[in-house]
């Protein structure tokens, strides 16, 4: 993969070193800062291609840093991957809703972290099929937004329009976790309101209708849902 600039925001020195070592081994250019204030400065000065952001920081915390990155038009497109501890689901959900692109829980394996970094960087590349009306294929699922049709292994399945929109939203960014609120927001405009509880009901219906392919719609416990990314390049 092409050399990228990665800003690591982390106050614990052993984790800083682990991240630097692994990212530099992949040929990335790495800058490490230990506070939220320094992170906000470095986002402007270093102009990273991606930010790895610890949530629990002294002073300005990671959520505030994330918010500032994602509300500034100049920096909002920079992918942010949060580094969180187990049991911080509320922070993860808050971070995702502030615009964070992904999260990794500590302790993490370098392999998993690097895969998430790669996936987040890939998602920022302009999609070859940029048109919203174009056929979207993932795994054995084909989604035709223009006709509101979905086929699994070439066989058409009947989804409600809400199920269709949920699938289209998840499939638009495979591997990305969406919170229930983000799903509600994403399918907004339906003729009846979708609540976050009813998202669970939509997912159950969607999985059932997808049959074998239903397991690609994954539950991320305490956080939300995602469509599993395809393996390999
Ligand atoms: Ca910390």
What tens digit of pLDDT does each residue of 55-110 get? 999 999 999 999 999 999 999 999 999 999 888 899 999 999 999 999 999 999 99
Q: Supply the range of the domain harboring residue 210.
A: 132-227
**233 occurs within a structural domain:** no
| Alpha carbon of 53 to ligand 1 centroid (Å) | 9
What tens digit of pLDDT does each residue of 111-151 get? 999 999 998 998 887 655 556 678 899 999 999 999 999 99
| Alpha carbon of 190 to ligand 1 centroid (Å) | 41
Statement to judge: residues 64 and 28 lie in one domain: yes
**Residues facing 152 on adjacent strands:** 141, 155
| Alpha carbon of 182 to ligand 1 centroid (Å) | 26
Q: Kindly give, in sequence order, each residue whose CB lies less than 8 Å from that of residue 131, ignoring residues fewer than 6 positions away.
A: none
Statement to judge: residues 14 and 94 lie in one domain: yes
Query: How far apart are the C-alpha atoms of 172 and 183, rounded to whole Å?
Result: 12
Cβ pair 26, 39 in contact under 8 A: no
| Alpha carbon of 5 to ligand 1 centroid (Å) | 21
Statement to judge: residues 60 and 104 lie in one domain: yes
- The pLDDT value given to residue 198: 86
Per the prediction, the chain carries an average pLDDT of 91
Cβ pair 156, 147 in contact under 8 A: no
Query: How far apart are the C-alpha atoms of 29 and 7, rounded to whole Å?
Result: 9
Statement to judge: residues 11 and 110 lie in one domain: yes
DSSP assignment of 40-101, as one string? Answer: HHHHHHH--SEEEEESS-SSS-HHHHHHHHHHSTTTTTS-EEEEEETT-HHHHHHHHHTT--
**232 occurs within a structural domain:** no
| Alpha carbon of 210 to ligand 1 centroid (Å) | 41
Domain boundary among 81, 104, 123: 123
Q: Which residue has the tokens 């209708």?
A: 209
- Cβ-based neighbour number of residue 25 at 10 Å: 10
How many separate domains does the chain show? Answer: 2
| Alpha carbon of 12 to ligand 1 centroid (Å) | 6
| Alpha carbon of 11 to ligand 1 centroid (Å) | 5
| Alpha carbon of 19 to ligand 1 centroid (Å) | 13
| Alpha carbon of 80 to ligand 1 centroid (Å) | 16
CATH number at residue 206: 1.10.10.10
* Omega before residue 107 within 30° of 0, cis: yes
Query: How far apart are the C-alpha atoms of 27 and 66, rounded to whole Å?
Result: 25
| Alpha carbon of 47 to ligand 1 centroid (Å) | 22
CATH number at residue 117: 3.40.50.2300
Query: How far apart are the C-alpha atoms of 79 and 66, rounded to whole Å?
Result: 10
């Amino acid at each position: 993969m092409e050399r990228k600039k990665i800003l690591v925001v982390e106050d614990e020195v052993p984790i800083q070193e682990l991240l630097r070592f692994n990212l530099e081994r992949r040929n990335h250019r790495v800058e490490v800062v230990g506070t939220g204030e320094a992170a906000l400065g470095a986002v402007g000065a270093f102009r990273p291609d991606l930010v790895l952001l610890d949530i629990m920081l002294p002073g300005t915390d990671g959520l505030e840093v994330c918010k500032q990155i994602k509300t500034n038009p100049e920096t909002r497109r920079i992918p942010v991957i949060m580094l969180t501890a187990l049991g911080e689901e509320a922070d993860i959900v808050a971070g995702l809703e502030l615009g964070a692109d992904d999260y990794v829980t500590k302790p993490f394996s370098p392999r998993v972290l690097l895969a998430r970094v790669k996936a987040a960087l890939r998602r920022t590349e302009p999609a070859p099929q940029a048109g919203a009306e174009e056929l979207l294929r993932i795994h054995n699922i084909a989604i035709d937004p223009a006709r509101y049709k979905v086929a699994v292994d070439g066989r058409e399945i009947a989804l409600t329009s809400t199920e269709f929109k949920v699938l289209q939203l998840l499939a638009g960014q495979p591997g990305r976790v969406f919170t229930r609120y983000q799903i509600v927001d994403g399918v907004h405009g339906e003729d009846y309101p979708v609540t976050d509880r009813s998202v669970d009901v939509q997912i159950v219906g969607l999985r059932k209708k997808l049959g074998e392919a239903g397991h690609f719609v994954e539950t991320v416990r305490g956080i939300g849902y995602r469509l599993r990314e395809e393996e390999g390049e």
